[in-house]
A = this chain, B = another copy of it.
């Protein structure tokens, strides 16, 4: 009876800088957008990721994946649907779907660990765990 995590939707417009000479968006930029989506996912739950870092808690990336199903062009306005895929005491994962209109363009995922300034694993702060957890 999975996934009663909240999902969040963010809109982004493709920048000229994000295209390459193939005339479409360069593949690494999807990971940049995933990070924008994470920031907005957190903000939507009342968590400022920048505030976490000020407290010395960092969310490092352990793994990233993206499957590219159709290309995107300059000035395309895309929707990113973000969902927490799991959460544990010191790690979590996100899934992302990118749409252009109703067309699914790409599917991605990232997993993350919470660490302190010395890059040692730390527990997710309780208020963050609670905000994310349902």
Chain A: residues with CB nearer than 8 A to chain B?
15-17, 19-24, 26-29, 31-32, 35-36, 39, 48-50, 53, 58, 60-68, 71, 73-75, 119
A21 to B48, CA, bound (A): 16
Chain B residues lying within 8 Å of A75, measured Cβ to Cβ, are 39, 48-50
A21 to B39, CA, bound (A): 15
A50 with B74: CB separation less than 8 A: yes
Q: List 5 additional contacts besides A16-B20, A71-B119; criterion CB under 8 Å.
A: A15-B36, A19-B20, A27-B61, A50-B74, A63-B67
Chain B residues lying within 8 Å of A23, measured Cβ to Cβ, are 21
B22 with A60: CB separation less than 8 A: yes
A60 with B50: CB separation less than 8 A: no
A27 with B31: CB separation less than 8 A: yes
Complex A-B: 6 CB contacts under 8 Å: A17-B28, A28-B31, A50-B73, A50-B74, A60-B71, A64-B66
A62 with B68: CB separation less than 8 A: yes
A26 to B61, CA, bound (A): 9
